[in-house]
Amino acid sequence: MNQRTTGRPGAVWALVITSVAGFMAALDNLVVTTALPSIRKSLGGELAELEWTVNAYTLTFAMLLMLGAALGDRFGRRRLFLAGLTVFTGASAAAALSPGINELIAFRAVQGVGAAIMMPLTLTLLTAAVPPARRGTALGIFSAVTGLAVASGPLIGGSLTEHLSWQWIFWLNVPIGLALLPLARLRLAESHAPDSRLDIPGTLLVSGGLFGIVYGLVNANSDGWTSPTVLTALVAGAALVGGFIHHGFHAKNPMLPMRLFRSRAFFGINMAGLLMFLGMFGSIFLLSQYLQGVLGYSPTEAGLRMLPWTGMPMLVAPVAGMLSDRFGGRPVVVAGLALQAVGLALFALVIGPDASYVSQLPGLIVGGVGMAMYFAPAASLVMSSVRPAEQGIASGANNALREVGGALGVAVLATVFSSQGGYESARSFTDGTVPAVWTGAGVVALAALVALLIPGGRHASAPAPEAADGTAEECMPVAA
């Protein structure tokens, strides 16, 4: 990709600014989960509204992620990063001031818009600022910081909710965002990709399609699966997603070229990621409420008790990275997904109104180790599955599909939960949570099977060779 860069910012400043911005965006994926019981008590709302407090963010984030990267390429990456950061910070303050659940959902959606513009540009700005010889170290630090956000999300959300109020999970972003804005303006260099084009039809198709599917799933139990609203949303959503896929095959410059999925490596790691986030996010959504609403833990205690699961990647990821270098990414990813499925199954076996924390630990630890083994080689597998010129598209697609998986996970597992249980009593809640977590375990096990499609060996995930005209040959690589 041709770049026009003005000036060269200090690599350290670029690393600090982009890492903190990435931490905020990643934190808001999970920070709300441990605050859900308090939000429900303060603002009211049924299961569908609680789902939307999570999904309004993940869905707009997923839908607009690739568009955010394209806007930065077209109009200036620093300029759009500042715009996204401004929207994210303002929406965080508005969410904290929300007088009702519907207003909170609306401002969470706006938060997702800001994050979708800001997040994909963090890596582009960082890569441009850091010399190639130090780029691996810088990207490793950036990944560790965003991983820390995922790990600490439930704990930070729980601590702020318990010791201050749930509003502070949003107020926290405001001073950080206000401090980053002048730093980013002064310390980051502007860059463009002059030949970039916006794919407006593709954006409209995928945005409308995903919204229709998630809207139908979220409202299925309250309105009924056969209600005109739900059926219309699901059918229209599926049709629009089908249109997006067709567009990706036939348009001249689609936001997501579907030919990339003809590579077994690209297809395998992306579909595995979507399924893994579906099972993981849906389970966390329910388990964080189970720990508080059924077992009686405070928000801080619930966040601490989830750390063996969400925090394990910080300890295991370096070892998983070394295993990936030695044996290749596929066996590590497959083993990680299998362990995560086992961890969810172990947790499902002990869920009950009076389950002890000791009985929950095996599932939390095994699931956390599995999550770490997935995350460590996943980014490398994505990047090595395409040509260098397509790595930006590949990274955006991978992040978007994982966010879609998270949004679908909350919607699907909450649907399973509400069909079998509810909020009426501890027994009713566990009656719904057990089959939902078993569903999550099954979905993650399916992800492990899909990951077997990734070609084996340390170099087997290389992209298809370039044809004489400079485009990738549209053939499926053979397994090593």
Question: Which tens digits make up the pLDDT trace of 162-175?
Answer: 888 888 888 988 99
Q: At residue 458, does pLDDT exceed 60?
A: no
pLDDT for the residue 110: 94
pLDDT band at 438 (very low <50, low <70, confident <90, very high): very high
Q: Over 80: is that where the pLDDT of 476 sits?
A: no
- ∠ at Cα 150 (445, 304), nearest 5°? 95
Does residue 291 register a pLDDT over 80? yes
- In terms of phi and psi (left: phi > 0; alpha: psi -120 to 50; beta: otherwise), the region of 224 is left
Burial class (CB in 10 A: 0-12, 13-18, 19+), 93: middle
Kindly report the backbone phi and psi dihedral angles of residue 154, in degrees, each rounded to the nearest multiple of 5, phi listed first. -60, -35
pLDDT in tens, 343-393: 999 989 998 888 888 888 898 889 888 887 887 677 667 767 767 666 667
The residues that bridge with 5 in the sheet, in sequence order, are 191
pLDDT over 70, % of the chain: 82
pLDDT of 133: 66
Q: Percent of the chain scored above 90 by pLDDT?
A: 14
| Predicted TM-score (pTM) of this structure | 0.74
- Residue 217: the pLDDT is 74
Kindly tell me the sign of the dihedral angle through the C-alpha atoms of 301, 303, 308, 311: negative
- Partners of 4 in the beta sheet? 192
| Structural contact between residues 115 and 90, judged by C-beta atoms closer than 8 angstroms | no
Which of 189-193, 271-275, 290-294, 325-329 shows the highest mean pLDDT? 271-275
What would the mean pLDDT of 412-436 be, rounded to a whole number?
85
What pLDDT score was predicted for residue 449? 93
Strand partners, 466: 472
**Predicted local confidence at residue 89, as pLDDT:** 93
Rounded Cα gap, residues 115 and 172, in angstroms: 15
pLDDT value of residue 466: 42
Query: Which tens digits make up the pLDDT trace of 247-276?
Result: 988 888 787 788 888 888 888 888 998 898
Give the pLDDT mean for 97-109.
89
